[in-house]
Amino acid sequence: MPRHHDDSWLSGGETNFDKARLLCPKHHARIHDPGFGTTIHPDNQVTFHMRT
């Protein structure tokens, strides 16, 4: 499963596993899709919503 980092190392972020989450390939693609916003909940779950 792909691991997504909130602070991408491509943008100068660190590889910090405390700010990372496992996502299936479908949701890993969605988290990078500018048409969707995300909410990261205290239990580290992610929900997606379409941006308007």
Q: Could you tell me the pTM of the whole model? A: 0.68
Tokens of 48: 């997606």
Within a 10 A sphere around the Cβ of 41, how many other Cβ atoms?
8
> Has residue 47 got a pLDDT over 90?
yes
Evaluate whether 33 touches 16 at the Cβ level (below 8 Å).
no
> Has residue 35 got a pLDDT over 90?
yes
For range 14-26, the mean pLDDT: 81
For range 19-38, the mean pLDDT: 88
Evaluate whether 48 touches 37 at the Cβ level (below 8 Å).
yes
